[in-house]
Structure 1
Amino acid sequence: MEEIQKAIRQMEAHKTEDAIKTLTNYLPEADEEERFTIAELYMQWGMLEEAKLVLHELIQRYPKELELKVMMAEIHIDLEEDDEAIEILNQFGPEDEDYLQALVQLADLYQAQGLFEVAEQKLLAAKQVEPNSAIIDFALGELAFSNGEYSKCIPYYENAMHHQPVIGDIEVATRLAEAYAANGEFEQSLEFFQQVEEDNPDVMFRYGFVAFQANRNDIAIHVWEELIEKDAYFQSVYPLLAQAYEAEGMPAEALEMAKKGLAKDEFNKELYHLAGTLSHRQGNKAEGYKWMREAVALDPGYKEAVLFLIENYKADGDYENIIDLINELIALGEEDPNYLWELAQAYEEEERFEDAYEQYNQAYPSLKEDTDFLKAYGYFLVEDGKMEEGKNVLEEYLKHDPADTEMEDFVERLKER
């Protein structure tokens, strides 16, 4: 054992190569007990392939030593050699001391392979051996939750929590809160979130989100304010907290929160959109347009922001801005026939009829099944003096909407002319 102790001292002194060399040189002389110790050291040092070779030889000599098989299974799991690990673990029977551990490990492996029913069978077999094991109940809950079986997982989590509120680093109350929320039972979910003691930012975010979904904006605001104090760069919370403020009739606070979010994340198009919407609602149109244009500048394909601008420019009668906006988008490669139609209408309002005609023509191949477009295009052509073209387009419209008798009369009058 002196050489083994020497290797340990070398490793502690960060002389890694010397430590490995010492063990490698001594291994041929080592007895079985020393080989077992060397295998353990190899595992601790992350030398799994070397440990596997040593253990394989020991298992050949002592096939009934289950501790060796447990170690070998652990190595296979760490090396992601699931089939080899499963083969070893399936050798354990009810009479073996490590049978329970083997069943739980098998369940994990089968679950990783997508064999959920087999995994459940292994865990239920383990539950027969240890009916009150919190770890087994928790594992059954995790399996059901991962399959979206939220009602099924809840009793398992509750059993686990009754015997052991914290498993590993996980508070079982957190899992119950998530399970009830996923099942749409928000009030029960909030009760369990309130029992969670850890102040993990992700858990706090989910707590606030469930409260928000349950229309408990008071709780959501309180939890999310605490979250921002704890982690000011938890960017997902800013738009939601702003929405919660707005829902509670606190528009100024909502806008301020959106701006705070932008100070932390200047590339968040949703926050620009939210800041623009809130500013506009509070009567500050210029600021609202500024924020919304920033959203479009970040992502020209962000249609929600584009449509906001178009609709509000229309309401203001500001067709020049619509023309500028859509021409910029087209120059950037944003191809949408509805944009061409909006552009045509803006040109029409500005009495730039040739430009309007060109845009209507470009939009027509894509929108020739859209009755609203056909009606608008047909009327435009007639008013622009292009009677024959207008009549043809309006006849196309009537094929799609033959019940429009008023249009039918209008087309008949065109024919008479």
Structure 2
Amino acid sequence: MERLKQAVSLIESGNFEKGLEELKEVRKEADHEGLYDLSNIYYSLGLIEDSRDVVEELLIHYPNEGELLVQAAECYVDLEQEQDAIAALNKIDANDAAYPPALLLLADLYQTEGLEEVAEQKLLEAKGISPDEPIIDFGLGEFYLTQGHHLKAVPYYESVLGTKGELANENIELRLAEALSGSGQFEEALTFYEKGLENGREINALFGYGFTALQIGEYRKAINAFNELKDLDPQYSTLYPYLARAYEEEGATDEAIQTLAQGIKVDEFNEELYLQASRLSYKTHDNTSGEQYLRELLAINPTHIEAAKTLATFLRTEERYEDIIDLLNNIEEGDQNDPYLDWSAATAYAQVEEYKDAIKRYENAYTYFKNDPIFLEEYGLFLIEEGRREEAINAFKLALKLDPTLVHLEEEILRFGEERFNEE
């Protein structure tokens, strides 16, 4: 239709308003074929409501035409009229050539609504009808990948490698790499990540590449990938703990600590960064920084048990018993109970001579540590101070049974046993 071509030409040359006016005039006089073309033009221009109106006009005359119903559904999806889209697609007859594309679109809609089983059923039905159609295999791969079923996604992506046409602009290698990595096939995944990244440096793919390299000990490749990602997007906070780990594995502990410090500036609420930074600081004998990172983490999350346990252990080695008590009083507001914290608290209370609190904590810890000879020896010594010699002797005997090298406890058992006999 010549007038339709002229209208499109006006729009393409920048005369948008005049071109749209011409399209309105075309609509008044166009036959059904012309209206179909007009709907496609409106859609390509992003004028979805106009496209929908024209399609709906055609559907009055051809209510069961599958191609029109698919086109209408695509308009409804763009206009967030999902239920209208589903209704239109469900009208298409199973023998219609448009039925397989309709199934793919239905699968997307059902998946969006959280009906994953229905979505999968639609995709597999389309696969049964058109077993060699690449777009269907790709759809199945995408579905399983988004569902976290990586192993299921692999063969579908493999079947469409090198496919042209509709999939020419899809980076299949990167999708396959993600599926392989997610299913634990790291070496194969690394190969496809490298091929896919040659086609485009996607930030999520760079993260996946670095993560995969890390899993198989390719630490230098992981470092390079994560650093490239950091240069492209410094706010990609997930990369920092993994980059730090790769540096640590390479023996570059200072770089690992610096990376974690950078990560904390980007994401101050990422608890893993503080834990990792603290651990590495202690590892390099920077106890001040190690303690500071733990205290910063506990300021963010006062109920973080692992941070509290680590800090309490450090304070205990430094015999800072008042600090242990202050720490535990602050972090236990949420009724957090942990046997390691009970043991640390018991030791601290005993050292500052708050014996009632100490015995309560020792008794709490005993249930968990009754097979730990180090705990039993400490507990026994405390029981002796409390005058509970029989319980102390039992604790020493159990400790000696668990660890026969604690021969000094034999003397304690004999000594306190004789004292008890003499008292009797």
Q: Into which bin does the TM-score normalised by the smaller protein fall?
A: 0.7 to 0.9
- Structure 1 counterpart of 2:161: 161
**Which one of the candidate residues 196, 211, 214 is aligned to 1:212?**
214
Distance 1:286 1:93, change over 3 A: same
Distance 1:142 1:31, change over 3 A: closer
Residue identity in the other structure for 2:298: V
1:282 matched to 2:284: yes
Distance 1:267 1:276, change over 3 A: same
Structure 2 counterparts to residues 315-354 of structure 1, below 5 A: 315-330=317-332, 332-333=333-334, 335-336=336-337, 338=339, 339-348=341-350, 350=351, 352-353=352-353
Which whole-Å CA distance do the structure 1 matches of 2:58 and 2:418 have between them?
99
Structure 2 counterparts to residues 135-284 of structure 1, below 5 A: 135-146=135-146, 148-164=148-164, 167=167, 170-196=170-196, 197-284=199-286
Measured after TM superposition, the shift of residue 408 of structure 1 is 11
Measured after TM superposition, the shift of residue 41 of structure 1 is 8.2
Structure 2 counterparts to residues 20-39 of structure 1, below 5 A: 33=32
- Structure 1 counterpart of 2:70: 70
Residue identity in the other structure for 2:356: Y
Cα pair 2:223 2:246 within 8 Å, conserved: yes
**Which one of the candidate residues 91, 104, 113 is aligned to 1:88?**
91
Which whole-Å CA distance do the structure 1 matches of 2:417 and 2:28 have between them?
105
- Structure 1 counterpart of 2:315: 313
Which whole-Å CA distance do the structure 1 matches of 2:254 and 2:318 have between them?
24
Residue-pair matches, total: 386
Cα pair 1:111 1:119 within 8 Å, conserved: no
Secondary structure in structure 2 of the residue aligned to 1:283? coil
Residue identity in the other structure for 2:308: V
Distance 1:274 1:150, change over 3 A: closer
Cα pair 2:346 2:361 within 8 Å, conserved: no
Distance 1:168 1:317, change over 3 A: farther
Measured after TM superposition, the shift of residue 230 of structure 1 is 1.5
Measured after TM superposition, the shift of residue 329 of structure 1 is 2.2
- Structure 2 counterpart of 1:383: 385
Residue identity in the other structure for 2:337: D
Which whole-Å CA distance do the structure 2 matches of 1:211 and 1:153 have between them?
21
Residue identity in the other structure for 1:279: S
Distance 1:309 1:111, change over 3 A: closer
Deviations 1:51-103 (A, max 9, x none): 46x644542333354443222232444411154133123x2525x3x344334
Q: Percent identity?
A: 29
Secondary structure in structure 2 of the residue aligned to 1:47? helix
Which whole-Å CA distance do the structure 1 matches of 2:218 and 2:206 have between them?
15
Measured after TM superposition, the shift of residue 254 of structure 1 is 1.1
Q: CA RMSD in A?
A: 4.4
Residue identity in the other structure for 1:121: L
Which whole-Å CA distance do the structure 2 matches of 1:103 and 1:187 have between them?
35
Deviations 1:375-410 (A, max 9, x none): 66675344223x4xx768999x99x99x99x99998
Q: Give the gaps of 5 or more residues in structure 2.
A: 403-409
Cα pair 2:186 2:213 within 8 Å, conserved: yes
Residue identity in the other structure for 1:62: Y
Normalised by the size of structure 2, how large is the TM-score? 0.74
Secondary structure in structure 1 of the residue aligned to 2:201? coil
Which whole-Å CA distance do the structure 2 matches of 1:86 and 1:413 have between them?
92
Which whole-Å CA distance do the structure 2 matches of 1:252 and 1:259 have between them?
11
Q: Give the gaps of 5 or more residues in structure 1.
A: none
- Structure 2 counterpart of 1:134: 134
Residue identity in the other structure for 1:357: K
Which whole-Å CA distance do the structure 2 matches of 1:168 and 1:301 have between them?
51
Measured after TM superposition, the shift of residue 105 of structure 1 is 2.6
Which whole-Å CA distance do the structure 2 matches of 1:108 and 1:233 have between them?
31
Measured after TM superposition, the shift of residue 411 of structure 1 is 9.2
Residue identity in the other structure for 1:300: P
